[in-house]
Structure 1
């Protein structure tokens, strides 16, 4: 049976919950019916979600709601045959799957109520948690600089690091204002988080990402990666934040990005409800 648009929507509607539990689908067959065991496994992942939530990522409450939706579907389709349940692990025993998913939903939603700073500080940071910090580098490094420097295109098999960077920038256009500044920020974060070449190499080339840095060490690769990304972004200056982005002369008009203009907030009178303005 052909996959419909609705099938795709229903599948990706549960992507946050699927990512939370993907360790069990990839490395283990089932989620054990033992709360202390799965809590130990999921703690650093939920901590990563909590951290990325502060940067605008999925909230724990969204993921909790997705887990409950999956639990409802498992009650109707206990064999996991519904298309939205593809790539979800099941509980052990299988008849406990829906109940386990709801218990995990409770855990995710209540994880920070209150925050257990002792557990947060004493639980080692996992690769799955760290990779949430690098959504763009996790695509750039494996695709353009993985496999000993071979880029994604056959024409780039013998490409230099500079040619790989240029190829990424060219393929990012015209989405530069959304992608390049964040990619530059991730380069800075990587160098702030990992202090040695060995740490950088073990994470970005190892189980965490399976990426690469071309023919260079990461300590030599990441700093030079930032200037060309930044220069490419600066060719698309934000002339009036909240209005539009103007490109250099010579670029076609359809490459301009219209933004919804946001009115300047008015001063609220003392005692006036927050978020409302008197006309």
Structure 2
């Protein structure tokens, strides 16, 4: 897939393992999954709904399956890429989409939730009316609560998916995992920096990652290979330029004008 591309600049092994910058976090998430969810082991069938551990990043997320043998997964089960220039509301929407209860909902759960909310609403409504809240205010609220509990989560999920592109499958995730590692190095270089070149490189990297996720959603890695290779080349060039800028900054040599960053 890389078509003899140059090796990217050395640095942390971003995303080669879950929570590569915080190994202790994986052990905590694995312990939680063992207690509360279904993990990949000899009891799994094709219909198993495995527990997913979401690793959130500045650009989206990686979803990992917890192996039952205690090993660490090497390839994410799913990778989601946030839309470029995402607003705070859009980022919160993606957090909602990857909430933990969403991985354990069954076909009966929405109706059970609606019944529970209905009972709570009934008690709350009766309590409110006992304290002189008008019935024409309390009764509609009591009726609407179960409907909102059943249908609102699905509506919010649909709206949140408008702001993210997610891919699954070993081939697609392996490619996007590699591209995401390069982009993460750009994001970290730009974090807290006032240099336009570094911030611009991170912006372009997000566009490249978003475009690659779009290609992988509609095509397989073989048919999309030329376009994917082109985007990986651009990402590598950005990583090279950023590494050069950081090296000159470390050496105190800021007199030479850096090369022009690539356009989106």
Q: TM-score range by the shorter chain?
A: under 0.3
Q: Report 1 or 2 for greater relative contact order, CA contacts < 8 Å, sequence distance ≥ 6.
A: 2
TM-score normalised by L of structure 2: 0.25
TM-score normalised by L of structure 1: 0.24
